[in-house]
Chain A
Amino acid sequence: MTTTGTSPRAKLKPQPAPAAEEFTLWGKTRDGVVKYGFVAVTVLLFGYFALTQSAFATSDSLFAMLKYASVTAILGLGMTFSMVVGGMDMSIGSQAGLAVQLAAMTMVFYNMTGVTAGIIVVLGGVLVGLANAVLIVYFRIPDLLATLAMMFVIQGVKLIPVSGQSVSAGMVLPDGSVAPGRFTEGFLQIDRGMVGPVPLPVVIMLVLAVFTWFFLSRTKWGRLMYAVGANPQAARLSGVRVGFYRGLAYVLTSLLASVGGLILVSRIGQGDVNAGSSSLLEAVAVALVGTSVLGANKPNAWGTLLGALLISIVLTGMTMMGFQYYYQDTAKGLVLLVALVFSYTMSRKRVRFTPAT
């Protein structure tokens, strides 16, 4: 790639009407930037870090980076479902936190197996998803508001049975007895296990990405979800059961949130009361970044995955270069802003995601 002297400013020049510029060089160029810009930035940054930081591109470091991205990516994939139907699930982080608490309580308080804990977590997730769906579809509360209220409810409810304390093996229960159970070895393997050289959470992330892609792009349900998100009125008039698909999307979001929570709790090894609290914004960010990747301009599985990887690359590289966390937060914000510029400002396609419509 040549770096000749065209100023980046050129992008800001007045734009002719879309129809007229369809076949001009400028129009094609802009399409190119929109479509591959993000991938190129990811590759460039990766190359830069790999060249300047000797420890960056080792296989250990790469797998650590993927593992780092896995929970964010899975929650982002969950968020992708609710964004596809034109909404957003504000309760996704607290749902992951709920999963952490449920799993810890099942094993530590009630001394049950890791498998039971997994089943309870998934059931809990589906229940919350159904609750969100009912609030949004039957009670007709706008998505953002319904899930925001849900977020507060879950954050509080999950702490009631544990009196606000983190659940750990051998803790003293409110009645004075000692908790009988502990995290089972098998359960801890969710995060710590390996498939060959690949950490298990990375495998789970990839499987879920394939599932999300297949569901959204290759099944009737997925396509109808996109239709609902693009224009609910038109979808309804064409005979699509809009309420069903919106509800289904929120249940799927919650399902993925609970899987993300399972990895989190297995990673922490305790029912950490604060787990998941930072996940909401990360999930939103990677799903939004994903919306702009490859010029899709709609929420999609591979985009979300790439968004999570990009953020993980930036954070790992910056840490190795010695930046403190506040610079990293700034970088995360800038990445998101650039993504938004790609999809809202520079793209000629209509953006298929506008929340609160």
Chain B
Amino acid sequence: MFTKRKMMAAGIVGFTMLSVTACSQGGGAATNNPNADSGQTIAATAAMPAPFNAGEVHVAIVQNTGQGDYFQQYLNGTKLQASALKMKLDVYDAQGDNATQATQLDQAIASGAKGIIVRHGYADTLCPGVNKALKAGIKVVIYDVEIQKCAPDAVQTQQSDAKMASLVLDQMATDIGKDAKVGYVNVLGIAPLDRRNLVWEQYKKDNNWSQKFFTGKFSSSTATDTAPMVYNALQANKDVVAIYAPYDELSKATLSALEQANMKSKVKVYGADISAADIELMRADGSPWVATGATDPNAIGAAVTRVLALDLAGELTTKNVEFPPILVTQQMLRDKNIKNMDDLRAAEPSLNISDTASAAWIPAIKF
């Protein structure tokens, strides 16, 4: 009997040790990522108000997906700003599954978090949870979801997609003129992409562009899944001179389709978003990607966290915060020899929005 117990115990201890070991390595790796932008903390010049003056404040981010450069950088900014503010940050990641995101929002509420950031997802899916949280006195800041149509008390933040699209499309109109044949790679039904779509429709009409194809697929591997669709569209429409693909995964898909179709020199690509990988793609020899609209996801991730902090401290005066983007062209990357995000930030200080949604007591993170 004794031996039996011993054996059982040993087995269980072995298994538990296995999981604990896996855990501790995980924790270390997550905090020591050498590729992450570490940012600088601008020291606060005032004492922290409640609840920040009474120890760690428990908050959570409930994100629709964390995969991809953009979202990893966004989370990096969020984490750094949260730790500068001495917040305990739980990260819920639904991996693109909307039903999971809804339950994770419930879990975040149940976990006792005082503030929750909800990043991307469907308003219809998230509204019940968001309203429940608000009712329970939890501060909720939403990024890039049209939440206020069903949860009017939530704070809604977004990068200005209309501005981002119009900056890039102005450039496109200058480059290709009116009456040109163009392609369009986008996926509707996702808030930021819908907002860019509205601007696209307007420019298309104003410039009398003839849209030869419209394709694209949003999935867990958007770039890979969309590339063959664009390739096929190109085969049927070899006469397009420009393609608008307003999300960097879609821009990447378009680039690889052009490469495969051997049409790189004939077609210009206008995209959106920026990351180190995107900069490299734009700078590559003969790259057709000529312009993109950019914000720094690190800086936005940090700014959204500051919005939540202001809300928690009762100092937020608006329910809508927008982060302005800038235009980045291939020409500019080459002229100023910009090779990565750091170079870009140095060349374009307006990317840094460390003074947006800040206060004297907030140790803002600057990238």
A interface list, Cβ under 8 A from B: 1-4, 6-8, 10-11, 25-26, 28-30, 32-33, 36-37, 40-41, 44-45, 48, 54-55, 58, 60-61, 63-65, 67-68, 71, 164-166, 168-169, 183, 188, 191-192, 264, 267-270, 272, 274-275, 277-278, 316, 318-325, 327, 330-331, 334, 338
Contact, CB under 8 Å: A268 / B4:
no
Residue B14 contacts which of A8, A25, A71, A168 (CB distance < 8 angstroms)?
A: A8
Q: Is the CB of B91 within 8 A of A322?
A: yes
Distance of A67 from chain B, by nearest CB (Å):
6
CB-nearest residue of chain A relative to B14?
Answer: A8
Contact status B98-A327, CB under 8 Å: no
Asked if B211 is at the interface of the complex by the 8 Å CB criterion, the answer is no
B93 contacts chain A at the CB level, 8 A cutoff:
yes
* Measured CA separation A321–B24 after assembly (Å): 11
21 contacts between A and B (CB under 8 A): A3-B10, A4-B9, A10-B7, A26-B7, A30-B7, A36-B8, A48-B16, A55-B112, A58-B110, A64-B110, A188-B128, A191-B102, A269-B127, A272-B99, A316-B107, A319-B92, A323-B27, A324-B26, A330-B22, A334-B22, A338-B15
Q: A1-B5, A26-B7, A268-B125 are in contact. List 20 more A-B contacts (CB 8 A).
A: A7-B10, A8-B14, A10-B7, A11-B10, A25-B4, A28-B4, A36-B8, A41-B12, A61-B110, A63-B110, A64-B103, A71-B99, A166-B189, A168-B189, A268-B122, A270-B98, A275-B99, A278-B95, A320-B90, A324-B66
On whether A60 and B109 interact (CB within 8 A), knowing A3-B9, A325-B95, A338-B15, the answer reads yes
Q: Is the CB of B102 within 8 A of A267?
A: yes
Q: Which chain B positions have C-beta within 8 A of A325?
A: 66, 93, 95
Closest-by-CB residue of B relative to A278 is B97
Indicate which residue in A28, A37, A274, A323 contacts B98 across the interface (CB closer than 8 Å). Answer: A274
> Is B30 in the interface zone, CB < 8 Å from A?
yes
Given contacts A54-B112, A274-B219, contact A33 B96 (CB under 8 A): no
Point out the residue from B7, B10, B93, B122 that lies within 8 Å of A324, measured CB to CB.
B93
B22 near A32 (CB under 8 angstroms)?
Answer: no
Minimum Cβ distance to chain A for residue B138 (Å): 12
Given contact pairs A55-B112, A61-B110, A71-B99, A29 touches B7 in the complex (Cβ within 8 A): yes
State the main secondary structure of chain B at its contact with A: helix
Q: A319: which of B30, B91, B98 is its contact (CB, 8 Å)?
A: B91
In the complex, how many angstroms separate the beta carbon of A19 from the nearest chain B beta carbon?
20
In angstroms, Cα B12 to Cα A37, docked, is 7
* Shortest distance between the CB of B31 and any CB in chain A (Å): 10
- Give the nearest-CB partner of A188 in chain B: B128
Residue of B nearest to A68 (CB): B103
When distances are taken between beta carbons in the complex, the residues of chain A under 8 Å from B6 are 2, 4, 6
3 closest cross-chain pairs (CB), A and B = A8-B14, A269-B124, A60-B110
Asked if B97 and A2 make an inter-chain contact with CB atoms under 8 angstroms apart, the answer reads no
Asked if residues A334 and B19 are in contact (CB atoms below 8 Å), the reply is yes
- Determine the distance from Cα of A333 to Cα of B13 in the docked complex, in whole angstroms: 19
- Expressed in whole angstroms, the Cα–Cα distance for A25 and B3 within the complex equals 7
Q: How far is the CA of A269 from the CA of B121 in the complex (A)?
A: 12
Contacts of B89 in A (CB 8 A): 322
Chain A CB within 10 A, most for which of B95, B98, B218: B98
Q: Chain A contacts of B46 at CB under 8 A?
A: none
| Residue among B3, B111, B112, B125 making CB contact with A267, cutoff 8 Å | B125
A-B contacts, CB under 8 A, total: 173
Closest residue of chain B to A40 (Cβ to Cβ) is B12
Closest to A59 in B: B110
Chain A residues with CB below 8 A from B124, complex form? 168-169, 183, 268-270
Asked if A55 and B110 sit within 8 Å, CB to CB, the answer is yes
Across the interface, do A165 and B188 meet the contact criterion of CB distance under 8 Å?
yes
On whether the beta carbons of A61 and B30 are closer than 8 Å, the reply is: no
Within 8 A of A (CB), among B271-312: none
Known: A71-B99, A168-B122. A64 touches B107 (CB 8 A): yes
- Set B10, B128, B189: member contacting A192, Cβ < 8 A: B128
Our pick among A4, A33, A166, A191 for the contact of B11 (Cβ within 8 Å) is A33
Q: Which residues of B contact A188 (CB under 8 A)?
A: 128
Please give, as numbers and ranges, the residues of chain B lying within 8 Å of A65 by CB-CB distance: 107
Residues of chain A lying within 8 A (CB to CB) of residue B217: 164
Instruction: Tell me whether A270 and B66 are in contact (CB under 8 A).
Output: no
- Contact residues in A for B30 (Cβ distance below 8 Å): 322-324
Q: Residues of B contacting A268 with CB < 8 Å? A: 98-99, 102, 122, 124-125
Q: Is the CB of B98 within 8 A of A33?
A: no
Instruction: Return B55 CB to nearest CB of chain A, in Å.
Output: 14
Q: Which of B3, B13, B125, B127 contacts A8, CB < 8 Å?
A: B13
**Contact assessment for B109 and A29 in the assembled complex, using a CB-CB cutoff below 8 Å:** no
Picked from B3, B13, B128, the residue with its CB within 8 Å of the CB of A3 is B13
Contacts of A270 in B (CB 8 A): 98, 122, 124-125
